[in-house]
Amino acid sequence: MTRPRSFVWTALAAVALMLGVRAGAQQPGATVHGKILNPAGDPFSGGGNVQFTTDKYVEYKDEKILVSVPIAADGTYTATGIKPGDYFVYVIQDKKTVDRLDLTVKSGDTDKTLDFDMTRAEYLKQMTPEQRQALEDFKKKNAEATKDNAVIANLNKTLLTVRADLTAANQTKGDVSADVANMKAAVDAKSDVGLLWLTYGDTLLAQGTHQASEDRKAGTSPLSDDAVVKFYTDAADAYKKGVDLDTASKKPNASEIGAGYNGEGNAFAKLNKVSEASDAFENAVKADPTHTGMYYNNEAAVLFNANQIDGALAAADKAIAADPTRPDPYFIKGQALVTKSSFDPKTNKLTPPPGCVDAYNKFLQLAPTDPKVPQVQEILTSLGEKIDTKFKAGKK
């Protein structure tokens, strides 16, 4: 009888003890967090998990993982509710162990930091010769990429400044020699970027225009100035370089290529190389049809200024067909057609060919404040024609 009583008491005591543990306050556990750096010293990327286990005496595949938390995109992690104990803490990615550290959490610990720094000598020493070589190659490429990124960042700042200067100079024909120097440095630093060459061409063209303006003020012909000729020639060369680079790139930019040909055409026009200019504008149309109206307008202006009336008229008609809202092609068309007016000796008046008066009136309608308006009004008056600013072209 004694043994059963003793057994019952012992069992009851054990139950009481167990109940006492359950009735006690539950410790919330510690928060463990940290950052993970890869062997190159960069934040660990590509996903993965940080895992906690107290099974320190069996292989990983047999360990019971108590807590597993994801690694954030910035290489950090946070685990909560980590109970007191001695842990192996793993960095796992693609089901493979990347790193492991020891961690002891004591009773009363609420916040623990555990960083994984894979640049540590202990970690690097465990890498194979092939892994170390791959790491060195990566560091070298990364350093080169960082350097390139710094160069690109500086170039982007330069481009913003130059673009602002060119916009201002377009109105004032101001000196942009500093921008020419900056863009020369830019293409020297990154000679394989088409956009830089195109912008360099813009600065050369603008500086040539500035110098030509100064020559005219001094009563000198711009094309007798070697500096002006060189600016325009170098501009055409820079545009060609930019176009060639962009055309040969993996993702050619039609807008940039068209702008390059357009710039080349403008440079040739400044040099009175009319045929080369016309070809460049035609190439611009082929490369970037979305700006056909502008390119044909520029070609029409160059041809008209070179007294190539038929060519100018044809280009003006193409510009109008592509963009009926652009006023200048109508002016050029009117100017081209008025030269073909017939003279009636009986009335002593000029009779303009069909389309001439319509073109002038359309110009007046689209550009009522243009400086050329008085000139057009005078021509229409001399022809005995009515000035109609509300003119609307008929259907073709």
pLDDT tens digit sequence for 236-264: 999 999 999 999 999 999 999 999 999 99
**pLDDT at 22 > cutoff 60:** no
**pLDDT at 23 > cutoff 90:** no
Cβ-contact 267, 232 below 8 angstroms: yes
384 Rama class: left (phi>0) / alpha (psi -120 to 50) / beta: left
Q: How far is residue 183's CA from residue 38's CA, in Å, rounded to a whole number? A: 39
What's the pLDDT at 14? Answer: 33
Model confidence band, residue 343 (pLDDT cutoffs 50, 70, 90): confident
What's the pLDDT at 392? Answer: 53
Stretch 275-296: mean pLDDT = 97
The better pLDDT of the pair 393, 148 is held by: 148
What's the pLDDT at 5? Answer: 33
CATH class of 153-382: mainly alpha
What's the pLDDT at 272? Answer: 96
**Three-state SS letters, the chain:** CHHHHHHHHHHHHHHHHHHHHHHCCCCCCEEEEEEEECCCCCECCCCCEEEEECCCCCCHHHCCCCEEEECCCCCEEEEEEECCEEEEEEEEECCEEEEEEEEEECCCCCEEECCEECCCHHHHHCCCHHHHHHHHHHHHHHHHHHHHHHHHHHHHHHHHHHHHHHHHHHHHCCCCHHHHHHHHHHHHHCCCCHHHHHHHHHHHHHHHHHHHHHHHHCCCCHHHCHHHHHHHHHHHHHHHHHHHHHHHCCCCCHHHHHHHHHHHHHHHHHCCCHHHHHHHHHHHHHHCHHHHHHHHHHHHHHHHHCCCHHHHHHHHHHHHHHCCCCCHHHHHHHHHHHCCCEEECCCCEEECCCCHHHHHHHHHHHCCCCCCHHHHHHHHHHCCCCCCCCCCCCCC
Stretch 98-120: mean pLDDT = 96
**pLDDT at 388 > cutoff 70:** yes
Stretch 344-366: mean pLDDT = 90
The better pLDDT of the pair 233, 3 is held by: 233
**pLDDT at 394 > cutoff 50:** no
Mean pLDDT (the chain, rounded): 89
**pLDDT at 185 > cutoff 80:** yes
What's the pLDDT at 334? Answer: 97
Stretch 267-273: mean pLDDT = 97
What's the pLDDT at 4? Answer: 37
**pLDDT at 26 > cutoff 70:** no
What's the pLDDT at 15? Answer: 34
The better pLDDT of the pair 21, 357 is held by: 357
**pLDDT at 3 > cutoff 80:** no
What's the pLDDT at 27? Answer: 58
Q: Is beta strand 49-53 parallel, antiparallel or unpaired with respect to 85-93?
A: antiparallel
Domain boundaries, the chain: 27-118, 153-382
Q: Which of 50-64, 92-106, 124-138, 230-244 has the lowest mean pLDDT?
A: 124-138
Q: Which of 60-69, 156-165, 327-336, 346-355 has the lowest mean pLDDT?
A: 346-355
What's the pLDDT at 176? Answer: 95
Stretch 203-207: mean pLDDT = 96
Model confidence band, residue 362 (pLDDT cutoffs 50, 70, 90): very high
What's the pLDDT at 247? Answer: 96
Stretch 340-355: mean pLDDT = 87
What's the pLDDT at 134? Answer: 86
What's the pLDDT at 7? Answer: 28
Please state, for a pLDDT cut of 90, what percent of the chain lies above it. Answer: 75
CB atoms within 10 A of CB 280: 28
Q: Which CATH superfamily is domain 27-118 in?
A: Immunoglobulins (2.60.40.10)
The token pair that represents 73 in the structure block: 């995109």
